[in-house]
């Protein structure tokens, strides 16, 4: 009897271990949904995009709007609703900002799956006014009217007029701008790192960019420097059917040390594409 009891105990222990291992394997194979931008880029985007409603400022309305939604396997959003409102005006602005964010769907065993998610946007008048001074504007201007309000994202090949970077001088080029403003990262220089960073982003209907990410990164701080340069640019928006539309673009930023010395870099030969 003693032997049988011991075997039963061992069987129970093995069964429990099997359940725990199976649970861990399942958890490891599930990757939750995420924002296309990293946390830092998302924070910067919200700061750049937010327009605090004037009525809300007058009424001193502040708080955190919490949204609930489902991210479909294709990255689209459905069942978007506000579960923690602040005020009608602020809630509307939170939804406007949210609809410009691109999401990566959850994965289970390598397959995209639908998942529910929540997202919060904080509205604070004092911080907003301080941010307006830093960014240099309170209202967002649209250089081209009318504007497509569907938030649909187009590729360059599907629009009538491609986005164009805006410079003070007509003779100034994108290549010249990048070569005059880029700083070869110290870490990359010390490690003799060179290569190309492919930066992808959305040019919004007002000409500013969003959802910026280094899809083909490079170590040594090169990816961060490439993103910094892209964020300095303002654009004329892309045009489709005589409306300003959102357009996805990519730029290749080349980091290559000069053979002669130090921190000099070989001029960039930009490749604009989708």
Report residue 104 as tokens: 């990566």
Q: Could you tell me if residue 190 is inside a domain?
A: yes
136: number of Cβ within 10 Å:
6
**Which residues contact residue 145 at a Cβ distance below 8 angstroms, ignoring those fewer than 6 apart?**
244
Residues 157 and 252 in one domain: yes
Report residue 214 as tokens: 């280094």
What is the spatial distance between Cα 97 and Cα 128, in angstroms, rounded to a whole number? 15
pLDDT, tens only, 173-208: 999 999 999 999 999 999 999 999 999 999 999 999
Residues 104 and 163 in one domain: no
Residue 185: CATH number of its domain: 3.30.2420.10
- Secondary structure in 3-state letters for 89-118: HHHHHHHHHHCCCCEECEEECCEEECEEEE
Q: Which of 136, 174, 144 is nearest to 271 (CA)?
A: 174
Last residue of a domain, one of 79, 104, 135: 135
Residues 82 and 52 in one domain: yes
DSSP string, 182-205: ----HHHHHTT--EEEEEEEEE-T
How many domains would you assign to the chain?
Answer: 2
Q: Could you tell me if residue 157 is inside a domain?
A: yes
Q: Could you tell me if residue 104 is inside a domain?
A: yes
Q: Could you tell me if residue 182 is inside a domain?
A: yes
Average the pLDDT over 122-133 and give the result.
98
Residue 1 has pLDDT above 60, yes or no: no
What predicted TM-score, i.e. pTM, was given to this entire model? 0.82
Residues 199 and 267 in one domain: yes
pLDDT, tens only, 56-77: 999 999 999 999 999 999 999 9
Residues 131 and 180 in one domain: no
163 vs 170: which has the higher pLDDT: 163
Residues 97 and 159 in one domain: no
Say what the pLDDT of residue 2 is. Answer: 38
Say what the pLDDT of residue 257 is. Answer: 85
Last residue of a domain, one of 81, 109, 135: 135
Residues 130 and 161 in one domain: no
Residues 171 and 126 in one domain: no
Residues 192 and 246 in one domain: yes
Q: Which domain holds residue 99?
A: 34-135
Task: List the single range of 39-43, 149-153, 243-247, 262-266 with lowest mean pLDDT.
Answer: 262-266
Q: Could you tell me if residue 141 is inside a domain?
A: no
Mean pLDDT for the chain overall: 88
DSSP string, 111-180: EEE-EEEEEEEEE-HHHHHHHHHHHT-SS---SSSSB--S--EE-GGGSSB--EE--SSTT--HHHHHHH
Residues 170 and 265 in one domain: yes
Q: Could you tell me if residue 178 is inside a domain?
A: yes
Say what the pLDDT of residue 24 is. Answer: 55
Residue 15 has pLDDT above 70, yes or no: no
Q: Could you tell me if residue 268 is inside a domain?
A: yes
Residues 105 and 194 in one domain: no
Average the pLDDT over 209-216 and give the result.
95
Residue 28 has pLDDT above 80, yes or no: no
Last residue of a domain, one of 135, 165, 184: 135
The secondary structure element, H or E, covering residue 49 is: helix 39-49
Residues 69 and 176 in one domain: no
Q: Could you tell me if residue 259 is inside a domain?
A: yes
């Amino acid at each position: 009897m003693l032997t049988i009891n011991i075997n039963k105990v061992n069987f129970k222990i093995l069964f429990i271990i099997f359940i725990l291992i199976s649970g861990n394997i399942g958890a490891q194979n599930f990757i939750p949904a995420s924002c296309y931008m990293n946390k830092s880029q998302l924070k910067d985007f919200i700061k750049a995009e937010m327009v605090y409603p004037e009525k809300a400022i007058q009424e001193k309305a502040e708080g955190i709007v919490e949204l609930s939604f489902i991210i479909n396997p294709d990255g689209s959003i459905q069942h978007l609703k506000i579960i923690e409102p602040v005020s009608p005006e602020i809630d509307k602005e939170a939804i406007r900002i949210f609809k410009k964010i691109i999401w990566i769907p959850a994965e289970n065993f390598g397959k995209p799956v639908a998942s529910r998610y929540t997202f919060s946007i904080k509205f604070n008048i004092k911080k907003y006014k301080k941010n307006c001074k830093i960014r240099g504007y309170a209202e967002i201007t649209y250089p081209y009217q009318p504007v497509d309000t569907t938030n649909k994202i187009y590729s360059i090949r599907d629009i009538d007029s491609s986005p164009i970077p805006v410079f003070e001088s007509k003779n100034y080029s994108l290549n010249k701008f990048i070569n005059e403003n880029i700083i070869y990262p110290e870490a990359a220089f010390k490690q003799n790192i060179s290569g190309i960073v492919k930066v992808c982003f959305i040019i919004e209907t007002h000409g500013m960019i969003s959802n910026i990410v280094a899809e083909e990164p490079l170590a040594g701080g090169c990816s961060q420097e490439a993103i910094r340069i892209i964020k300095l640019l303002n654009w004329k928006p892309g045009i489709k059917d005589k409306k300003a539309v959102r357009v996805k673009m990519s730029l290749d930023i080349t980091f290559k040390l000069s053979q002669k010395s130090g921190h000099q870099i070989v001029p960039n030969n930009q490749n604009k594409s989708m």
